[in-house]
């Protein structure tokens, strides 16, 4: 579950434990989400074993007030999952309030039964995560806290933002809707009055946030999953394409074993290649992903995507051929850096 959904699920849990019956429309209004989102959150409750029930006579849901989730009575799997998330997986992303999260985990760890604590510590010594490239954000905690507050209060914000798309720093009044972590960075999803549309703003490009003494009423039923729809990553373009790709045997297994998109379908070929199909909103984001596989992928459909890939590949070749020509004519001197021997390579060469 994503953090925003976790907070909603907890709110539903505490609300339904009050001993009253709540219809989906009641919960939708209380949470400021769509009915579809409420049903999705109720399924999350069901998945973790919370015994809610629907009363047709009352026309709503409730949970037995005597039911509760013990705060510290964790079994081994629950404790290990929590400690892996805070001690290990948190290094994979820029976690806001990371020190607070680690402190909370230490408090919980300190209250675990001694046997469980020792076993978890033993297992964690042999579990690692490899940090991926991150987009560093200065003052992440401060920026995140401010945005959380204005989202909850529905306060308008004057945002000073360095826009790569517009190649300049812009100022726009925005209605902040949602915080999203995606592709190694945090984003704010908001309605921009300057653009008269919903836009995404990367947190590390925000230069200044001025909270205005104004409220907004838009976005009452904004749902991040509905907004993203079938886009490849996070930028819907408003047109669905049937994408059909053929991956060569060298990479076919690596591609097929990953669920890249919710619409993914894979067909294995006798020669070891694989046909991978998607229904995606827009072509720009998936084009860059395809280029990462170089000469190991063919774009079977649509034609517009194949042309886009061909153009980008030709531009890549042209750019590097121009560089190679300048190197040959000494227009650009190339300085060879001394080779550095790492401990791992030294051990390999000595074996």
pLDDT of amino acid 243: 98
What is the DSSP secondary-structure string of 59-71? TEEEE-TT----S
Q: In a 3-state reduction of DSSP, which class is residue 332?
A: coil
pLDDT of amino acid 14: 77
Parse the chain into domains and list their residue ranges.
3-63, 76-124, 140-226, 229-334
> φ, ψ for residue 177 (rounded to 5)?
-110, -45
What are the structure tokens assigned to 155, written together?
Answer: 């306060």
Query: Closest Cα to residue 191, out of 164, 216, 228, 210?
Result: 216
CA distance 79 to 106: 11
Q: What is the pLDDT of residues 276-293, one digit of tens each?
A: 999 999 999 999 999 999
Equal CATH topology for 3-63 and 140-226: no
Q: What is the pLDDT of residues 170-201, one digit of tens each?
A: 999 999 999 998 878 899 999 999 999 999 99
What are the structure tokens assigned to 267, written together?
Answer: 């067909």
Q: What is the pLDDT of residues 221-273, one digit of tens each?
A: 888 888 888 999 988 999 999 999 999 999 999 999 999 999 999 999 999 99
CA distance 183 to 132: 10
Q: What is the pLDDT of residues 51-77, one digit of tens each?
A: 888 888 888 888 876 666 555 567 777
| Banded pLDDT at 91 (limits 50, 70, 90) | low
Query: Closest Cα to residue 86, out of 78, 183, 188, 179?
Result: 78
pLDDT of amino acid 1: 43
pLDDT of amino acid 3: 40
Query: Closest Cα to residue 190, out of 226, 225, 147?
Result: 147
Query: Would you say residue 2 has pLDDT above 50?
Result: no
Q: Are 115 and 76 in contact (CB under 8 A)?
A: no
Q: What is the pLDDT of residues 314-343, one digit of tens each?
A: 999 999 999 998 888 877 666 666 666 555
pLDDT of amino acid 6: 65
pLDDT of amino acid 239: 95
Angle between helices 3-16 and 24-31 in degrees, nearest 10: 130
CATH architecture of the domain 3-63 equals: Orthogonal Bundle (1.10)
Q: Percent of the chain at pLDDT above 70? A: 85
What are the structure tokens assigned to 189, written together?
Answer: 């999803």
**∠ CA 73-77-81 to the nearest 5 degrees?**
100
pLDDT mean across residues, the chain: 84
Q: Are 90 and 98 in contact (CB under 8 A)?
A: yes
pLDDT of amino acid 7: 67
**252 or 86, which is more confident?**
252
pLDDT of amino acid 45: 81
Residue 126 neighbours by CB distance under 10 Å: 6
User: Rounded to two decimals, what is the model's pTM?
Assistant: 0.68
pLDDT of amino acid 131: 65
Q: What is the pLDDT of residues 114-130, one digit of tens each?
A: 788 788 878 877 877 77
What class does CATH assign to 140-226?
A: mainly beta
CA distance 246 to 148: 43
Query: Would you say residue 88 has pLDDT above 80?
Result: no
Q: CATH for 229-334?
A: 3.30.70.240
């Amino acid at each position: 579950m994503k953090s925003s959904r976790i907070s909603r699920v907890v709110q539903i849990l505490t609300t339904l434990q009050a001993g009253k019956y709540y219809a989906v429309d009641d919960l939708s209004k209380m949470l400021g989400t769509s009915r579809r989102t409420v049903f999705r959150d109720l399924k999350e409750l069901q998945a973790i074993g919370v015994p809610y029930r629907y009363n047709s006579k009352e026309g709503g849901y409730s949970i037995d007030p005597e039911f509760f989730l013990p705060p510290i009575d964790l079994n081994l799997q629950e404790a290990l999952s929590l400690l892996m998330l805070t001690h290990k997986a948190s290094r994979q992303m820029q976690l806001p309030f990371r020190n607070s999260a680690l402190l909370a985990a230490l408090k919980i760890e300190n209250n675990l039964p001694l046997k469980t604590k020792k076993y978890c510590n033993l297992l964690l010594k042999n579990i690692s995560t490899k940090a991926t490239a991150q987009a560093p954000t200065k003052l992440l905690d401060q920026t995140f806290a401010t945005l959380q507050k204005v989202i909850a209060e529905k306060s308008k914000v004057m945002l000073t933002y360095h826009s790569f798309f517009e190649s300049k720093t812009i100022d726009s009044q925005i209605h902040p809707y949602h915080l999203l972590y995606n592709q190694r960075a945090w984003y704010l999803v908001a309605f921009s009055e300057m653009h008269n549309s919903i836009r995404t703003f990367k947190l590390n490009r925000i230069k200044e946030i001025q909270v205005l003494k104004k409220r907004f009423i838009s976005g009452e039923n904004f749902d991040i999953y509905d907004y993203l729809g079938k886009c490849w990553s996070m930028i819907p373009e408003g047109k669905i394409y049937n994408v059909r790709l053929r991956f060569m045997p060298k990479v076919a297994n690596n591609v097929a074993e990953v669920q890249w998109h919710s619409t993914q379908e894979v067909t294995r070929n006798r020669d070891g290649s694989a046909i991978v199909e998607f229904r995606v909103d827009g072509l720009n984001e998936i084009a860059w992903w395809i280029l990462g596989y170089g000469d190991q992928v063919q774009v079977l459909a649509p034609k517009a995507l194949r042309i886009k890939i061909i153009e980008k590949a030709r531009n890549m070749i042209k750019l590097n051929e121009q560089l190679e020509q300048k190197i040959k004519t000494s227009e650009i001197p190339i300085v060879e850096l001394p080779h550095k021997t790492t401990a791992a390579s030294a051990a390999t060469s000595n074996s």
